[in-house]
């Protein structure tokens, strides 16, 4: 039985890698994949806690997280598609519509 | 239960009806409503007068509404009719009614007819408020209101620049006086805790030390207000300019009523004034000086209304002289007789002016006595009254004042001397006016001469009534020395005014002085007839010898120019350079502009934060998360 | 090791099967001019980002490896019960009894996401 701390550390590491990916990469698709990575890291820590607490609630919650991640990826990618049609680039600096 | 409120209510109703409906319903309506409003007020004043005589303590009170109730202080709209306000009520409404009737004829055909009567009614309303109020509050409302109406009525011909300027001048000089009144009211409130006249009069001697600085300050400030309203030195210069208004306005406001408001205030607070001998001296000296100064100016004026205006200032000086020597009853008596003959003289002059087509310059008058007989006779009677010819009304009141000026403990022979000289000058210039206007050869413009006719009945009837009053009005206050009938004024005002110590002087002195002034007046009449019976020629010859005196008199002793250079120009310089240039531009504008600039620069600094770059936003998210985690662990 | 076989399988199915395929389809549609060069410059923002991330990692790690790591109260499904009944059964039971409301809601969420995606990405024909 691996000590819980190791798995938790792994999940934190994955999470930080996702965060770095969001902040440092330019390609929009890569940023999306980093977001998915973050969500999965959280999944991992949920499972760990569920096991160590002898509870199934954590697993059910993972179920929900996966569904939401899927939905969000779908909608996000469709938005990227429609913005791409005008700007013809995937550089996130061109996606600067979130201002006045 | 006495309905005092009816008296001001009628003119107020007249104002509302004339002001709002007068234009629509036309001249007939206004002619009916305007004089009727004041006439009803006069009727009710008569009723109240007799009720007051029967009432206990000779006072009627009516409480209408509590205006201010704050802590211990209460000020209400209460009306009081006592001897002083009862007399004033009769004067205001009676003479006012006659002037309203006269105005129907005088203002006929003027555009703005309804406006005139509306303002005139409003004026009567405010004047009534002034005399009916039982506290400084209501009196001051009336005080300000009559100032306002004076402004409106002087500037009645508002298209004329000179009229608008004169109206402004009147209002501004009044304002200076108002500052005095307000300061005094505040001091009174601090000392007495109340601003009701009854309280102030009753407790004056207990709360204020006689001759002390506080009471002197209060009374001097009140007198300052009185000089503004009643045209004494130093604030008299607005009254001659006020002749720009229509003649009935000059008669009502600037002869009979508004200018007597200052006198009313002094008389009302007699108990306060006798506690300040210094102020009494100041009042007497200022009154006497104003009287003689105005008389010297009146001698050379050529505009008939200016002569009368300066005559008013002079006579008001007499009344203040009376107040200043403690002869409050005599002063009020002269207010009454002056109202009669001065209103008569003004209305008569208006009749002349109208007859020769709005010509006011006496150099273009003459030989009118046959063409305007009624006007001539009534004006002559008025002149006899004002000159103090025996048994006319002015004789009794003026003589009383002169005697008291001589004999009262506050008076002195010098004051009597000034008054004596002024009386002679008054007779001189008034008869000069009569001779120049009605006698001699006609200097009237030729194309006007054919149309000169006596004025209609609506104008001559008030003249006749006022003339009758000017003749018999004096018999209310026959001095004791005649031993014929008791002195009505003294009987009427018993115990109302403050007591002053008994004067010196005996009966024979009184007779001597009286005969002296009569002789002097007759002499002045004689001189006037010699100089002016045939017009200006003789006088012009005399003038070249005394050119400097003539110029001084004609130019009003250059008082206006003095004020201009001493006060107005420095004030303008101060405003332009200091207040506007230095303070307004540098301090205020700078503050405002700086605030704007700061807002703009803050905006410029913060705006780049929201640039739409998503990775920036993500960076800020992580920064926030870091900080939160830091605080949690 | 964590006895969460169901989660593992679902992850593979959904992520590798559905979401990755979705990404690939999108990349296919986004065939822009090839090989856009993204110049990666070092800037203050990037250094700050790195430092902050490191800081957060240290904080979370500190949380997780603390000596007095306090966990909540124990649940009702110890290892033996899970092995005996089967994780799928247990999850199914929980889903359809205790968490039925959330289940329905995410069903609707999925519906909305699908409709939204179609609407947003639709090519408007002139």
**Nearest-angstrom CA–CA distance, B184 and B187:** 5
Chain C interface, best mutation among A21, A47, A67, by max C CB count within 10 A: A67
- The shortest CB-CB distance from B610 to any of A19, A22, A99 is to A99
DSSP B65: E
- The shortest CB-CB distance from C32 to any of A7, A40, A88 is to A88
What pTM was computed for the model?
0.73
Question: Within an 8 Å CB–CB cutoff, is residue A90 touching chain B?
Answer: no
CB-based contact B14:B36 (threshold 8 Å): yes
**Nearest-angstrom CA–CA distance, C82 and B488:** 125
Distance of CA C106 to the CA centre of its chain: 14
Q: What is the pLDDT of residues B421-433, one digit of tens each?
A: 999 999 999 998 9
**Nearest-angstrom CA–CA distance, C96 and B580:** 82
Q: Hey, are the CB atoms on B622 and A19 less than 8 Å from each other?
A: yes
Q: How far is A97 from chain C (nearest CA, A)?
A: 16
**pLDDT class of B543 with cuts at 50, 70, 90:** confident
Question: Within an 8 Å CB–CB cutoff, is residue C59 touching chain B?
Answer: yes
Q: Hey, are the CB atoms on A29 and C27 less than 8 Å from each other?
A: yes
Poorest-confidence range of A58-67, B91-100, C26-35?
C26-35
| Chain C residue whose CA is closest to A43 | C7
- The shortest CB-CB distance from C26 to any of A12, A15, A81 is to A81
What pLDDT does residue C29 have? Answer: 83
Give yes or no for residue B373 having a pLDDT over 80: yes
- The shortest CB-CB distance from C71 to any of A20, A52, A74 is to A52
User: CB count, 10 Å around CB of B125?
Assistant: 27
Q: Which of B174, B360, B137, B134 is nearest to B254 (CA)?
A: B174
Give yes or no for residue A9 having a pLDDT over 70: yes
**Chain B residues within 8 A of C48 when measuring between CB atoms:** 619, 623
Give yes or no for residue C38 having a pLDDT over 80: no
Q: What is the pLDDT of residues B246-275, one digit of tens each?
A: 999 989 887 778 888 889 999 888 888 888
Poorest-confidence range of B139-143, B168-172, B511-515?
B511-515
| Chain A residue whose CA is closest to B611 | A99
What pLDDT does residue C33 have? Answer: 63
What pLDDT does residue B480 have? Answer: 65
- C27 lies in some domain: no
**Chain B residues within 8 A of A76 when measuring between CB atoms:** none
User: CB count, 10 Å around CB of B215?
Assistant: 26
What pLDDT does residue B528 have? Answer: 87
- A11 lies in some domain: no
Q: How far is A31 from chain B (nearest CA, A)?
A: 10
Kindly provide the ipTM of the predicted complex, given to two decimals.
0.89
Poorest-confidence range of A70-74, B191-195, B564-568, C77-81?
C77-81
**Chain B residues within 8 A of C38 when measuring between CB atoms:** none
CATH number, residue A85: 1.10.287.3510
Question: Within an 8 Å CB–CB cutoff, is residue A6 touching chain C?
Answer: no
B199, B203, B204, B206 alpha-carbon torsion, rounded to 10°: -170
**Chain C residues within 8 A of A69 when measuring between CB atoms:** 19
> How many structural domains is chain C composed of?
1
CA atoms within 13 A on the CB side of B159: 2
Q: How far is B609 from chain C (nearest CA, A)?
A: 13
Q: Hey, are the CB atoms on A100 and B622 less than 8 Å from each other?
A: no
- A74 lies in some domain: yes
What pLDDT does residue B179 have? Answer: 92
What pLDDT does residue B459 have? Answer: 85
Tell me what the mean pLDDT of segment B84-105 comes to. Answer: 90
- The shortest CB-CB distance from C57 to any of A16, A84, A89 is to A16
Q: Hey, are the CB atoms on B626 and C59 less than 8 Å from each other?
A: yes
What pLDDT does residue C89 have? Answer: 86
How many residue contacts between A and B have a Cβ separation below 8 Å?
28
**Chain B residues within 8 A of C56 when measuring between CB atoms:** 622, 625-626, 629
What pLDDT does residue C67 have? Answer: 67
Q: Hey, are the CB atoms on A78 and C49 less than 8 Å from each other?
A: no
Question: Within an 8 Å CB–CB cutoff, is residue A92 touching chain B?
Answer: yes
Please count the residues of chain C: 126
Question: Within an 8 Å CB–CB cutoff, is residue C62 touching chain B?
Answer: yes
Q: How far is C115 from chain B (nearest CA, A)?
A: 26
- A54 lies in some domain: yes
**Chain C residues within 8 A of A47 when measuring between CB atoms:** 2, 4, 7
**pLDDT class of B631 with cuts at 50, 70, 90:** very high
How is chain B split into domains, by residue range? 276-534, 561-632
Average pLDDT, chain B: 85
Give yes or no for residue A98 having a pLDDT over 90: no
Q: Hey, are the CB atoms on B612 and A22 less than 8 Å from each other?
A: no
CA distances from B166 to B127, B246, B353, B499 (A): 21, 13, 20, 41
Q: Hey, are the CB atoms on C53 and A16 less than 8 Å from each other?
A: yes
Chain B interface, best mutation among A16, A18, A98, A100, by max B CB count within 10 A: A98
Domain that holds residue C107: 82-126
| Chain A residue whose CA is closest to C111 | A71
User: CB count, 10 Å around CB of B542?
Assistant: 10
> How many structural domains is chain A composed of?
1
Chain B interface, best mutation among A87, A93, A94, A97, by max B CB count within 10 A: A93
Question: Within an 8 Å CB–CB cutoff, is residue C60 touching chain B?
Answer: yes
Question: Within an 8 Å CB–CB cutoff, is residue A97 touching chain B?
Answer: yes
**Nearest-angstrom CA–CA distance, B479 and B404:** 11
- A4 lies in some domain: no
* DSSP states of C52-121: HHHHHHHHHHHHHT-TT-------S--HHHHHHH-HHHHHHHHHHTTTHHHHHHHHHHHHHHHHHHHHHH
CB contact burial B352-381 (16+ within 10 A = b; e otherwise)? bbbbbeebbebeebbbbbebbebbbbbbbb
B505-510, long-range: CB < 8 A, 24+ apart: B505/B403, B505/B406, B505/B407, B507/B481, B509/B406, B509/B407, B510/B403, B510/B407, B510/B479, B510/B481
- A14 lies in some domain: no
Please count the residues of chain B: 633
Tell me what the mean pLDDT of segment B387-399 comes to. Answer: 86
Q: What is the pLDDT of residues B491-502, one digit of tens each?
A: 777 777 777 777
- A2 lies in some domain: no
**pLDDT class of A38 with cuts at 50, 70, 90:** very high
Domain that holds residue A85: 26-91
CB-based contact B384:B396 (threshold 8 Å): no
Q: What is the pLDDT of residues B278-333, one digit of tens each?
A: 888 899 999 999 999 999 888 888 889 999 999 999 999 989 999 888 888 888 88
Q: What is the pLDDT of residues C77-114, one digit of tens each?
A: 777 777 777 788 888 888 899 899 999 999 999 999 99
User: CB count, 10 Å around CB of B486?
Assistant: 11
Q: Which of B37, B34, B1 is nearest to B18 (CA)?
A: B34
Tell me what the mean pLDDT of segment B383-392 comes to. Answer: 88
Kindly list the partner chains of chain C, i.e. chains with 3 or more CB atom pairs below 8 Å.
Answer: A, B
Q: Hey, are the CB atoms on A1 and C1 less than 8 Å from each other?
A: yes
Question: Within an 8 Å CB–CB cutoff, is residue B611 touching chain A?
Answer: yes
**Chain C residues within 8 A of B623 when measuring between CB atoms:** 48, 52
What pLDDT does residue B496 have? Answer: 78
**Nearest-angstrom CA–CA distance, B492 and B508:** 26
Give yes or no for residue B158 having a pLDDT over 70: yes
Q: Hey, are the CB atoms on B626 and C56 less than 8 Å from each other?
A: yes
Chain A interface, best mutation among C26, C52, C76, C94, by max A CB count within 10 A: C26
What pLDDT does residue B81 have? Answer: 87
- C29 lies in some domain: no
Question: Within an 8 Å CB–CB cutoff, is residue C41 touching chain B?
Answer: no
Q: Hey, are the CB atoms on A93 and B613 less than 8 Å from each other?
A: yes
């Amino acid at each position: 039985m691996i000590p819980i701390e190791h798995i938790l550390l792994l999940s934190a590491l994955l999470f930080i890698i996702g965060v770095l990916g969001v902040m440092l990469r330019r390609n929009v698709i890569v940023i999306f994949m980093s977001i998915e990575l973050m969500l999965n890291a959280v999944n991992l820590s949920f499972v760990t806690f569920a096991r160590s607490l002898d509870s199934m609630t954590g697993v059910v919650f993972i179920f929900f997280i996966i569904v939401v991640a899927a939905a969000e990826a779908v909608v996000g990618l469709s938005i990227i598609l429609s913005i791409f049609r005008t700007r013809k680039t995937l550089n996130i600096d061109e996606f600067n519509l979130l201002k006045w | 239960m006495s309905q005092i409120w009816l008296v001001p209510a009628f003119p107020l109703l007249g104002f509302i009806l004339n002001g709002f409906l007068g234009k629509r319903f036309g001249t007939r309506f206004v002619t009916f409503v305007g004089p009727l409003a004041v006439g009803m007020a006069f009727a009710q004043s008569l009723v109240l007068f007799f009720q007051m005589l029967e009432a206990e303590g000779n006072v009627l009170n009516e409480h209408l509404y509590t205006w201010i109730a704050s802590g211990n202080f209460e000020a209400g709209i209460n009306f009081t009719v006592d001897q002083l306000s009862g007399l004033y009520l009769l004067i205001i409404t009676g003479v006012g009614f006659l002037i309203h009737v006269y105005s129907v004829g005088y203002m006929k055909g003027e555009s703005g007819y309804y406006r005139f009567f509306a303002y005139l009614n409003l004026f009567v309303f405010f004047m009534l408020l002034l005399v009916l109020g039982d506290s400084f509050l209501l009196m001051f409302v009336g005080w300000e209101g009559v100032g306002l109406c004076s402004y409106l009525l002087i500037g009645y011909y508002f298209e004329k620049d000179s009229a608008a300027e004169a109206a402004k001048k009147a209002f501004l000089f009044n304002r200076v006086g108002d500052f005095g009144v307000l300061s005094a009211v505040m001091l009174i409130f601090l000392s007495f805790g109340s601003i009701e006249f009854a309280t102030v009069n009753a407790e004056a001697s207990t709360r204020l030390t006689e001759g002390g600085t506080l009471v002197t300050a209060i009374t001097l400030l009140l007198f300052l207000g009185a000089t503004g309203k009643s045209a004494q030195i130093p604030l008299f210069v607005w009254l001659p300019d006020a002749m720009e208004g229509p003649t009935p306005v000059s008669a009502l406001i600037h002869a009979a009523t508004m200018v007597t408001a200052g006198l009313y205030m002094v008389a009302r607070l007699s108990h306060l004034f006798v506690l300040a001998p210094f102020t009494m001296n100041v009042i007497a000296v200022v009154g006497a000086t104003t009287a003689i100064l105005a008389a010297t100016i009146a001698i050379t004026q050529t505009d008939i209304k200016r002569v009368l205006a300066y005559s008013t200032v002079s006579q008001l000086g007499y009344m203040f002289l009376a107040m200043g020597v403690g002869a409050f009853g005599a002063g009020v008596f002269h207010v009454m007789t002056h109202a009669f003959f001065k209103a008569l003289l003004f209305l008569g002059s208006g009749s002349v002016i109208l007859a020769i087509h709005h010509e006011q310059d006496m150099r273009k008058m003459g030989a009118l006595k046959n063409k305007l007989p009624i006007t001539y006779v009534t004006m002559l009677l008025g002149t006899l009254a004002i000159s103090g010819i025996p048994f006319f009304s002015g004789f009794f009141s003026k003589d009383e004042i002169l005697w008291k000026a001589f004999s009262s403990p506050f008076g002195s022979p010098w004051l009597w001397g000034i008054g004596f000289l002024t009386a002679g000058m008054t007779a001189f210039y008034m008869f000069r006016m009569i001779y120049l206007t009605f006698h001699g050869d006609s200097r009237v413009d030729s194309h006007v001469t054919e149309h000169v006719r006596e004025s209609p009945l609506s104008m001559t009837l008030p003249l006749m009534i006022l003339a009758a009053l000017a003749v018999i009005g004096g018999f209310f206050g026959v001095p004791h020395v005649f031993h014929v009938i008791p002195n009505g004024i003294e009987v009427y005002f018993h115990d109302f005014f403050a007591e002053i110590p008994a004067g010196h002087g005996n009966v024979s002195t009184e007779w001597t002085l009286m005969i002296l002034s009569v002789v002097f007046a007759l002499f002045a009449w004689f001189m006037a007839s010699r100089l002016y019976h045939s017009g200006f020629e003789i006088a012009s010859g005399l003038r070249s010898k005394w050119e400097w005196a003539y110029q001084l008199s004609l130019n009003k002793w250059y008082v206006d120019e003095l004020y201009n250079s001493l006060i107005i120009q420095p004030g303008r310089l101060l405003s332009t350079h200091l207040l506007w240039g230095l303070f307004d531009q540098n301090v205020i504008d700078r503050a405002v502009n700086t605030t704007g600039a700061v807002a703009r620069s803050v905006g410029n600094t913060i705006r780049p934060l929201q640039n739409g770059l998503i990775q920036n936003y993500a960076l800020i998210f992580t920064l926030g998360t870091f900080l939160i985690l830091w605080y949690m662990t | 090791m964590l006895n969460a076989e169901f989660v593992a399988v679902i992850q593979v199915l959904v992520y590798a099967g559905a979401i990755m395929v979705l990404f690939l389809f999108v990349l296919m549609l986004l065939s822009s001019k090839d090989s856009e060069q993204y110049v990666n410059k070092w800037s203050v923002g990037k250094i700050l980002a790195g430092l902050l991330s490191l800081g957060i990692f240290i904080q979370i790690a500190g949380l997780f490896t603390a000596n007095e790591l306090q966990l909540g109260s124990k649940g009702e499904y110890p290892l033996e019960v899970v092995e005996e009944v089967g994780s799928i059964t247990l999850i199914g039971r929980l889903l359809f009894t205790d968490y039925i409301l959330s289940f329905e809601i995410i069903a609707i969420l999925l519906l909305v996401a699908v409709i939204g995606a179609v609407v947003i990405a639709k090519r408007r024909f002139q």
